[in-house]
Chains A and B, each alone.
Chain A
């Protein structure tokens, strides 16, 4: 059954469907619909909802419930996610599964409350201290928000790793028809490591402290091995018209929605625009980008930031073709016309005529 929901509400309900029964949050725009929804919904399913005293407390409550074996979630927006970073590092260091939703807003500082993708570095490069990775999922529609939040809990349990949903104010507050197509989760993976009371077994200890020389390096080696497995098996992306494309755009989330418009418009002309939309930002779909870069004349990365994911695109491409960037910051959202103009600016001279022919198509809209 289709229903009309905001991305924030869809994320909340999907968590419930996935069996999340512990939600801890702190109000911040633009994710308020999520915490508000949970306040009503969690008691209905016998779950726990706490409006914590801070984002720090909320994420540490998640830490506790995850350590105790529950499916736990918190959500926030950029400044609040910054506050959570210490505990996120602890979660990664204690290998605790949980889901953290970041509905990004503009920064730095208090910034503003409009959509942004400027927390990419923070999400995929660590954010907190130490050598760790979150699995980072980036929805670009309300439907995908629901699907990814549901999957996030399974991925977290499967790899004993925190998962971040990296949305933005547009995806969070936008209303779209969607449906919950997956069955509510009733059976959960066994967590024999969890804190349940040591009745009839050896005690379990959840910790990230390795004071004895050599142990921490060993533990890090274990983490790195796990990350390699995740890199090999969990990459997700969407590729549209990349074969025979004159230029390929790389964009995620809200930026990718706009890039899709450009791809569609280019259908009507002889200048072909393709799109790679990373769905997992970590692990990053580097292989497909690398392979594509060997066939295409150039790549344009589009972001609502001053240029963050573009660094990972360049790392994947390893100089095989030029990688250009178009970004808007501080709540600015790229338009398809702006993207087309940027394309016209960066394509090799032999393609300029083709591009100029499709520019009017975009301009008329």
Chain B
């Protein structure tokens, strides 16, 4: 019998704590697949965020580190300086990376840290009950924007890829989504490109992944995927924002 689909070796065989329909599990699995395919389990160090993916180290069978909320870029910098030839990646949510940790990500990019950032944008704070994130869409209802986010009081959604693109230190920035099998394949390609950027010592790479949080979007899994395609991508257009291989 031909096996078409199996668990990556790097993915630990354990139930996850994610809600049904959550995007985090898909992204973690893609990371595990790449680590397997590239055979780099022994030379990879990952950083888990404070957010719904806080327990990422329970799912990935590699050396992993916790960081305080928002600080993965600084902690990853410290790790990478000790092991410059290892693959170092940080997994961060939108609250982690684009609110409390904005300074750290901007300066890691500005220093051109040769690290790969995996930025899971689900437009809410999942971990703390679905409050507004810096990436929450205009009009989007969250617990702390009960009548929908309006810019006067709550500001505008932050486009991190575009923000980092203006820094000379950033090398590869792409926004992808996991709303369909096709998009998941593209996400995997983007992650591979991020790892390649690092392996070839080309500097800072960040892959922003639009990812569903059905629980705090108050939608079912299918509606969530449609929401990404029809609503989220209007504020967060998919595509390569910056690429060292194709300088425009």
Residue positions of A touching B, CB distance < 8 A? 22, 24, 48, 50, 52-54, 56-58, 60-70, 72, 86-87, 90, 94, 195-200, 203-209, 211
Task: Assess the A53–B63 pair: CB atoms within 8 A.
Answer: no
Can you pick out 12 interface pairs between chain A and chain B where the beta carbons lie within 8 Å of each other?
A53-B103, A53-B104, A68-B78, A70-B81, A197-B63, A197-B86, A198-B63, A199-B42, A206-B64, A207-B57, A207-B65, A207-B66
A70-B77 contact given A53-B107, A57-B107, CB 8 Å threshold:
no
A169 vs B40: C-alpha distance when bound (angstroms) = 48
A53 vs B113: C-alpha distance when bound (angstroms) = 14
Q: What residues of chain A lie closer than 8 Å to B77, measured between beta carbons?
A: 50, 57, 61, 64
Task: Assess the B64–A203 pair: CB atoms within 8 A.
Answer: yes
B79: contacting residue among A68, A90, A200, CB under 8 A: A68
Task: Assess the B68–A65 pair: CB atoms within 8 A.
Answer: no
A90 vs B66: C-alpha distance when bound (angstroms) = 9
Q: What residues of chain A lie closer than 8 Å to B83, measured between beta carbons?
A: 68, 195-197
User: How many positions in chain B have a CB within 8 Å of any CB in the partner chain?
Assistant: 35
Task: Assess the A68–B82 pair: CB atoms within 8 A.
Answer: yes
Q: What residues of chain B lie closer than 8 Å to A208, measured between beta carbons?
A: 66
Task: Assess the A203–B71 pair: CB atoms within 8 A.
Answer: no
Task: Assess the A61–B63 pair: CB atoms within 8 A.
Answer: no
Task: Assess the A198–B65 pair: CB atoms within 8 A.
Answer: no
What is the interface of chain B mostly: helix, strand, loop, or mixed?
A: helix
Residue positions of B touching A, CB distance < 8 A? 41-45, 48, 54-55, 57, 61-68, 71, 73-83, 86, 103-104, 106-107, 111
Known contacts A68-B78, A195-B79; 17 further A-B pairs (Cβ under 8 A): A22-B81, A57-B73, A57-B107, A60-B75, A60-B78, A61-B74, A63-B67, A64-B77, A67-B75, A67-B79, A197-B83, A198-B63, A199-B41, A205-B57, A205-B65, A209-B54, A209-B66
A57-B82 contact given A64-B65, A94-B66, A197-B44, CB 8 Å threshold:
no
Q: What residues of chain A lie closer than 8 Å to B57, measured between beta carbons?
A: 203, 205, 207
Q: What residues of chain B lie closer than 8 Å to A205, measured between beta carbons?
A: 57, 63-66
Q: What residues of chain A lie closer than 8 Å to B103, measured between beta carbons?
A: 53-54, 56-57
Q: What residues of chain B lie closer than 8 Å to A90, measured between beta carbons?
A: 66-68
